[in-house]
Structure 1
Amino acid sequence: MRLLPRSLTGRLLVTAGGALLLGITVSASVIAGVFGHFVLQTLDLRLDTEIALIARTLDRNPDHPAAALHAGDLPPFDQPGSGWVWEARGPFGIVRSVSLGGQALSLPPDPLSDRLRDPPPAPPDMPRPGAPFGIADALRLHGMPPDLRPMDGRDAQGHAVHYRVAAFGQGAGQVTIVTAAPREIVEQPLRAAATPLAESVLAMGGIMLAALAVQIRVGLRPVVRLRRMVAEVKAGRLRRIAVSEPTELVPLVEELDGLIVANENAVAQARTHVSNLAHGLKTPLASLKLDLADAPGAEGARLRLLVETMERHIRHHLGRARAGGGVASPAVILLPRLQDLAEALARIHAESPCHADLDVPSDLHVRCDPQDLDELLGNVLDNAWRHAAGRVRVTARADGKRVRITIEDDGRGLSDAEIDLVTHEGRRLDEQSAGTGFGLAITRELCALHGGSVMLERSTLGGLSVTIALRGA
């Protein structure tokens, strides 16, 4: 099971979102705990104040404590059913608040009974009681009852109750005062604060998560830009990656640029070696071809065919070296190349009345090695020029991501069977004209090396129509 997404953005969002959720949960729990503790402290203070008031009343009225205590009951301890109650036990008996309605105070069975049965000894610095219950000395020394202990339990109806217990004196003169209040007084404010607290925490979390998403988007923008620039280099629209920030990406960019340079150098060296080999073989092959031109018989024909085969292989591998190597082809403007080729062919075939009509947009680009483009267009144009009656038409249009270049002539043309025949390497239908018959095959190979294609069909001018499809820029 995959815990993290594959993308870097997803991983950052998941990890940061998880940490944010944990932090918000802990913060909400701490805030709720602090608030609950504050409310409980306020309740304890109210109960402790009531204990001190009862203790002083007992100290001042040792003979008639019940009447004095009932006369001094303050709200809400004087309201039956309020849940705010107290009970005092000592030599005078048991006195209960008016709010108890004469009923006994429900006490937690074990802890409280132990404390009531075995109260802790008085502090060693407490003087011997001078008053009947020893309360005055305790209050004078401590300001509050010396032994205040919190307890929690449930009343006779099963409601949660919070107690405070204070013990004075020791032995037979011990006085124990218990005050209690509904635990709901603590829980109600917590419930009331829970909704706005949760809403505030969720709103804060949402804002922080949105800010985190923006931060990740902004932080990863250089990575996205780098990816686009690498794609531009691959497509041949850029030669180098120019990124100066963030500084963390600069070493990576330098390595990528170094890789691009090394690749270009390796391709350039391979091209140089192949070109040198091709040129080194061309001269002796040309001499051998001349020597065999007049060789009689079948043996001479066989040798001439072998020489032509070697020439074809040399041209083929030279073309692959120029087009291959993993370096993207540059964007080449098409119209100037066609104009130069038309002018050159017009001079070569000066005796021919043929002329070329170019219908090519001036801003049309193709992705192809310039030398390969000249060779494949030159082969087709030369063939059209040699077979045209007087006109060659060249049109080029963008077709989606491709550029289609159509070269037509008004010559005799070819039938479907002849078109199928000339697609084979070295096959020629016109044995009287110059040429090896490999021009169209080389054009097909070069187009294929650059991701293109060649299609032959009948032209509306009456001759042959050759359509070359190459990648646009």
Structure 2
Amino acid sequence: MIRRLSLHARLILLAAATGIAILIFASIAISGVLERFVMVGVDQTLDTQIGVLERALEPDGSVAQDRILSLSNFDQRGSGWGWLVRGERRQWSSGSGLQAFRTRREMRHSDTAIAGGRGRTDDGRAVHLRARKVATAGGPVTIIAFAPRELIDRPLDAARGTLLVSLALIALALVAGTLAQLRYGLQPLRRLGSAVARIRSGEADTLPADQPRELLPLVDEVNGLIDQNRTSLEQARRHVANLAHGLKTPLATLSLRLARENASTEALKLVEELDQRIAHHLKRARIGAHAASGRARTEIAGVIDDMLGTLQQIHRASGITFQRAGGLAGAPGYAVAVEQRDFEELLGNVIDNAGRHARSEVRVAVEQAGPRIVIAVEDDGPGMADADIARVVEAGVRLDESLPGFGFGLAITTELVQLYGGALEITRSVDLGGACVTITLPRTR
């Protein structure tokens, strides 16, 4: 699927298309003006020669030889200069011979205006010409004066070269100005995006009101949505707390009554499991409310080391070593977008689970992958079969029934990670041979 163009790209394309069109139109228009400007001097000379020849015409259309005058250059053959008087039965010429010519418009018998055109001399040289048709008693007579085309083309080409260089410099200036304008004009949108990111990471509560007038309606709507979402989350948290209180009390009463009445172990275990399930779903609802607020932040520096030290004491009797394998765990300033209590719980579940299945070693490694933090917990235990990996993250499922618990540890961890926009993956450890639980969480500043 082709990605839609950004505002920056759209504006650049629009400005480029408009600029190219304007420059093309300007080059054509200016070239036409330059051509007419260069042709003025040549046309004046040719028109003067036509006027001299017209005064030499007799009433019957013939040319009085004693009144024929040629300006300088018009008598030199091969120079490209010359004139031609063409009657119905005879023609007179001087200078270079004209082989063919074409005027820009058709000249009529009654038309006395001078028309411009082009032609070629006998030796194939291109010429610029001026022509007038004169009515006489002996019929119409056409008077033509012409000059080498190169007198116009040579200065015009030089002027066009300078013009193209100037237009190219103007185009570069327009491109630079457009880029600077877009960078300055779109800067408020970039600041607005950064402000939204700060809200998501918990560094700010609302969007700043110091915005351009065009963005103020959007900022007001987003801030109103944030306030409404915050109110809804507070209500959800209160409902979760009330629900927890409402369910815990009857369950505690039921558990005490069963204990007083010497109920069976199976009944007590069923009540305890029911209590665990209710606690699991209430915790999920609470976590969902925290995660949706987008204001969670926990520095990982020290948390992992403290947890490894605590679990080392708990599993001291088993002789298992808990260690950190380098990475960023001890580097200050790195944080994940997770509530600290939830981060400690999800990480504690995974490391404790690895300790209960390990033979002698549990290793924790932390790395940064772009905008995310990756935590890998490995052990040297028996690992898991591929068929068991999908089942182990389901609530209430335990692969080893000999170990205590109700099977909610990894299920809670998986839901915690997903609710905070992360991912959990279970594979086999390459180095230790046991299980490798990889947790990916969004990084925050």
Aligned to 1:365: 335
- The count of residues paired between Structure 1 and Structure 2 equals 400
Aligned to 2:318: none
Query: Is contact 2:364–2:375 with CA below 8 Å preserved after alignment?
Result: yes
Query: Is contact 1:83–1:180 with CA below 8 Å preserved after alignment?
Result: no
Distance 2:195 2:167 in 1: 42
**What is the one-letter code of the residue matched to 2:271?**
V
Distance 2:419 2:239 in 1: 19
Once the 2 structures are TM-superposed, how far is the Cα of residue 180 of structure 1 from its aligned partner? 1.1
Query: Is contact 2:82–2:147 with CA below 8 Å preserved after alignment?
Result: no
Aligned pairs for 1:187-266 (under 5 A) are: 187-242=153-208, 244-266=210-232
Aligned to 1:324: 288
Q: Which stretch of the first structure deviates more once superposed, 303-312 or 284-293?
A: 303-312
Inter-CA distance 249–217: structure 2 relative to 1 (3 Å threshold): same
**What is the one-letter code of the residue matched to 1:164?**
A
1:164 alignment partner, SS class: strand
Distance 1:303 1:280 in 2: 21
Inter-CA distance 425–306: structure 2 relative to 1 (3 Å threshold): same
Q: CA offsets per residue over residues 294-343 of structure 1, 9 Å max, x none?
A: 4446xx3343233223312221122222221433251124578899999x
Aligned to 2:5: 6
Distance 1:294 1:377 in 2: 38
Q: CA offsets per residue over residues 257-306 of structure 1, 9 Å max, x none?
A: 22222222222211211221111111121111111124446xx3343233
Aligned pairs for 1:69-468 (under 5 A) are: 69-70=68-69, 73-87=70-84, 96=92, 98-99=94-95, 111=106, 115=109, 119=110, 147-152=112-117, 154-155=119-120, 157=122, 159-165=126-132, 167=134, 171=137, 178-182=143-147, 184=149, 185-242=151-208, 244-296=210-262, 300-325=264-289, 326-333=292-299, 361=330, 363=332, 365-373=335-343, 398-400=366-368, 401-402=372-373, 404=375, 425=396, 442=412, 445-447=415-417, 449-450=419-420, 451=422
Distance 1:332 1:250 in 2: 33
Distance 2:437 2:117 in 1: 95
Query: Is contact 2:56–2:65 with CA below 8 Å preserved after alignment?
Result: no
Inter-CA distance 311–283: structure 2 relative to 1 (3 Å threshold): same
**What is the one-letter code of the residue matched to 2:232?**
A
Once the 2 structures are TM-superposed, how far is the Cα of residue 27 of structure 1 from its aligned partner? 0.8
Distance 1:308 1:43 in 2: 111
Distance 2:48 2:144 in 1: 10
Distance 2:83 2:227 in 1: 91
Is 1:36 aligned to residue 3 of structure 2?
no
Inter-CA distance 373–13: structure 2 relative to 1 (3 Å threshold): closer
Query: Is contact 1:87–1:96 with CA below 8 Å preserved after alignment?
Result: yes
Query: Is contact 2:42–2:147 with CA below 8 Å preserved after alignment?
Result: no
Aligned to 1:22: 21
Q: What value does the CA root-mean-square deviation take over the aligned residues?
A: 5.2
Query: Is contact 2:81–2:148 with CA below 8 Å preserved after alignment?
Result: no
**Percent of pairs identical after alignment?**
31
Inter-CA distance 66–177: structure 2 relative to 1 (3 Å threshold): farther
Aligned to 1:134: none
Inter-CA distance 243–160: structure 2 relative to 1 (3 Å threshold): farther
**What is the one-letter code of the residue matched to 2:12?**
L
Q: CA offsets per residue over residues 147-176 of structure 1, 9 Å max, x none?
A: 4422425356364541232748x647x996
Distance 2:411 2:142 in 1: 113
Provide TM-score, normalisation by structure 1: 0.64
Inter-CA distance 404–293: structure 2 relative to 1 (3 Å threshold): farther
Distance 2:425 2:132 in 1: 102
Distance 2:67 2:254 in 1: 140
Distance 2:242 2:134 in 1: 111
Q: CA offsets per residue over residues 373-405 of structure 1, 9 Å max, x none?
A: 465678899999xx9xxxxxx998743243759
Distance 1:111 1:19 in 2: 38
Provide TM-score, normalisation by structure 2: 0.68
Distance 1:405 1:106 in 2: 90
**What is the one-letter code of the residue matched to 1:66?**
Q
Once the 2 structures are TM-superposed, how far is the Cα of residue 229 of structure 1 from its aligned partner? 3.1
Inter-CA distance 308–162: structure 2 relative to 1 (3 Å threshold): same
Inter-CA distance 15–416: structure 2 relative to 1 (3 Å threshold): closer
Gaps of at least 5 residues in structure 1 are 121-146, 350-356, 388-393, 409-413, 458-464
2:95 alignment partner, SS class: helix
Distance 2:92 2:336 in 1: 103
**What is the one-letter code of the residue matched to 1:277?**
L
2:298 alignment partner, SS class: strand
